Amino acid sequence: MSQTGPFIRVTTVSAPLKGSFPLDHEGTCKLEMLNYMVCLHEKKQQNSECRHVAKDYFECRMNHGLMDKEEWQKLGYGDSKQISQ
């Protein structure tokens, strides 16, 4: 059945730029994630105030294979050391 008019559905979907990454089903980095969420709550959702905690979370995910290892600069932490690939 073909559709016409303003309600045409998009049939092509593009993949995310970084690809997909596994969810943390085992809670490996749950502590780091909770620390980040608490920081956001305490700082009234000001992400810039919690960058150091977010970096800890990313580092945990990279160290446990939950996301690809990336240079800190590519993740927006240009003033930090790089994670070796």
Extents of the domains making up the chain: 29-68
**How far apart (Å, rounded) are the C-alpha atoms in residues 46 and 27?**
25
- pLDDT (tens, 9 = 90+) of the chain, 85 residues, equals 555 667 777 677 676 666 566 789 999 999 999 999 999 999 999 999 999 999 999 999 999 999 888 899 988 888 755 444 4
What predicted TM-score, i.e. pTM, was given to this entire model? Answer: 0.69
8 A C-beta contact, residue 76 and residue 55: no
Contacts of 76 (CB under 8 A, 6+ apart): none
Tokens of 37: 């969420």
Q: Alpha helix (H) ranges present in 1-85?
A: 30-42, 51-63
